[in-house]
Structure formats: C-alpha cells, structure tokens
A = this chain, B = another copy of it.
Amino acid sequence: MHRRTFLKTATAVTAATAAAATVSSPAVSQNLRKWRMVTTWPKNLPGLGTGAQYFADQVTRCSGGRLTVQLFSSGEIVPAFESIDAVKSGTVEMGHGCPYYWKGKAAAAEFVSNFPFGLTAQEYNAWYHFGGGDKLCDELYADAFGCKFLVCGNTGVQHPGWSRKEVNSLADFQGLKIRMPGLGGEVMKRLGATVVNLPGSEVPTALASGTIDWAEWNNPYGEASMGFWRHAKYYYATGWHEPGTCLELFVNKASWDSLEDDLKAIVEQCAFSTTQVMLSEFQARSGPVLDQFINKHGVIIKKLSDEQIKKLGSTSAEVLTEITGRDAMAKKVFDSMNKFRGEQKVYSDVAEADFLRARSLDYSWPAAS
C-alpha cells in the first residue's frame, strides 16, 4: 500500500473508531478494487489464456487484494473482437488480446503486433522499453481506443505451418489453398495462393478434407492439441510472417488514471513479467512438442528456399508500403519499428543467430540424463 494512502486510511480509521470504537466497513473497504479483465482467448488456452491468467493472479497477489483482477474468457462478457470496445466504454476495466485484432479501427494497431520480416520477440521488447515503443503505443491507444497500453506477452516465432504437399518453389505457391490470416495471407495472395478465411474451429476438418492445402496456426505448443499432423505431413518452419507477435494489456484510461502510483507500478511490472513468462512457456513447451511431431508422428520439417523467401520479403515490403501510405499513424509506428529493425539486424545476426549456428554443429557432447 502506498504510504500516503495508508496514512489517509489510518486517519479515517482513527476518526471512525474515535466515534464508534469499531472499524466501519466502508473505511476498511474503500481502497479495495475488483476489476474485470476480458480476454480474446478461451479460458486457459495454452500460452495465451494461461499467460493472461498469470498476469491477473500476480496483480492480485502483489496488491494484497487491493486490486483484484478477475479474468473472463472470450464470450463470457463480450465476444473476443469487441473486447477493446468494452474497455473503451468502461463496461470492464481492462483487457488482454493481440493488437492486430483492432486494425479495422486503427491501421497502426496491426504493426503494434509486429510485421512480416520484422522483429524477434527479444528485439520487440527492446524496441518497447528502449526504442520509444512504449510512448508510441501509449499515444496510439489513448487516441484511438481511450486506453492505456502495456506490452503483456509474446508468442515468439510463429511458423507458416502445415502443408499436405511439398511446396518447393515460387511456382508451387500458385493456386495453393491456404488458411493464413493477416498480412501473411495478403502476401501469399499476391504470390498466387488462394487465401481461405476460416474460423479456428473449422481448420482441422478443412485440412483433413483437402478444402485447404495448408493451414497456418502459431507454434508447436499452440498446435499440440490441433492434430494437424494427422492431415498434413510437412511442417514449414521459416517464420517470415510473424517473427514474434506481441500480446497486449489495454486499460480504460479513466480507470488507469484513478490508480494510486503503487498500483500503477504493480500493473506495469506484472505485465512485463508476464511477457517473459508467456514467451518462456511457448519456448519451453514447443521444443518437446516439435520432437513429438518429428519422432512420434513422422512430420517432415521444411525450411522455405532462398528464392521463396526473397519474393516473400519484397512482396511484404510492397504491402507494408501501401498501408503506411494510407495512414499517418501507421506510418509513424512502422517507421519507428523499421528504424530499430535496421539497427538490430546486423547485431542479431552475429549474436543470437551465430551462436545458434555454432551450437548446431556436430561435436561430442554429454548425453542428457
């Protein structure tokens, strides 16, 4: 509890007890807040739902119950894609989701998630904390949604996904029936694919029947229960379209402003901690699941060819340039991230990438025990 608040409360208690020699209920409970947090996820969805629950629980713990956060899954109070309206209007105090869900209301929100050939999760967090990302996201969310923004999670690299057939060349993209939402889907369409929009629940059946040739989802942990491996043998790994998708906390601006400084600090620290914990969950769980895909289910891991990647890269650039040409705030956000990307590109290649190259070489090593 903030010291001044404590003293104020203590004074109130003193006044009350001086009068009645007992603690009146309102005096004790006046600073106990119960906030509702809507999410765009089913309850305890691996990684995303569990991460949002971790955040809610930690805020409640850290505040000693002064700010209790109750999580509601998608549909419990409002449908997933109305979450930000519910927070903006004050129906609920906060929400957890993915920025690109709000691109129809503000084009720039799509880039707050990241963009094709953009930033790794580690680079994204660096942009947010030290590259001006925090202020820029705050500005966008205040103006467009009446919300305070905080980064609150990251999926890490997402993979283009599951294909029923080998797709070895640019020519193989022609006529490919693919389920891939967002900017990735737009790029694939321009390269000749037929993009099919399907809600998540229909994807396994569509892949099984051949209605689609290819299904994008997210990463091995998120895909563990989907059973795509039953219908598609090839897992394309090269995560060009979503290299590290940011998850978000959005808080009604008036609710945020009403918080004492210590509660604001708690919400911030728990959001940043959740970013690390959520990314850790995806990383920790995806490794063993990928191993099962390969060694238990016979899935074949494929990397996209240089030819395919270069064309995906230049086509992504076209799509991004069109969006930033239409919307000034989208351009402002993209320019900030793109400048940061330029500063990190060489560094990440000699840091993370060159270490991983070294580690993957063949040398004797103690067996796991």
Contacts and interface: CB of A to CB of B under 8 A. Distances in A.
A359 B284 contact: no
A17 B10 CA distance: 10
Interface string A24-54: 0001100010000000000000000000000
B10 A14 contact: no
A14 B6 contact: no
B280 A130 contact: yes
A23 to B, nearest CB: 5
Interface string A311-348: 10110010011001000000000110011111111111
Contacts of A338: 366, 368-369
Contact of A13 (B14, B64, B239, B357): B14
A317 B120 contact: no
A161 to B, nearest CB: 12
Contacts of A358: 117, 238-240, 304, 309, 313
Contacts of A334: 366
Number of this chain's copies in the complex = 2
A306 interface: yes
A352 B350 contact: no
Given A1-B1, A269-B270, A283-B123, A321 B61 contact: no
Interface stretch (A72-80, A167-175, A178-186, A259-267): A259-267
A364 interface: yes
Nearest to A128: B280
A194 interface: no
A135 interface: no
Contacts of A362: 310
Interface string A114-140: 000100111101111111000000000
A283 B122 contact: yes
Interface stretch (A87-95, A98-106, A204-212, A288-296): A288-296
Interface stretch (A195-203, A223-231, A245-253, A271-279): A271-279
A306 B361 contact: yes
B365 A317 contact: yes
Contacts of A280: 122, 125-126, 128-130
A344 B287 contact: yes
Given A18-B21, A339-B369, A362-B310, A65 B2 contact: yes
B283 A126 contact: yes
Contacts of A363: 309-311, 313-314, 317
B1 A344 contact: no
A62 B266 contact: yes
Contacts of A159: 350-351
B11 A239 contact: no
Given A6-B1, A64-B5, A261-B61, A351 B129 contact: no
A258 interface: no
A350 B160 CA distance: 12
Nearest to A315: B363
Instruction: Give the 5 A-B residue pairs with the shortest CB-CB distance, closest first.
Output: A313-B363, A2-B64, A130-B284, A64-B262, A237-B350
17 contacts: A1-B64, A1-B66, A58-B265, A64-B260, A120-B355, A125-B276, A126-B281, A129-B276, A157-B355, A239-B351, A269-B269, A272-B273, A283-B347, A303-B357, A313-B361, A317-B365, A353-B353
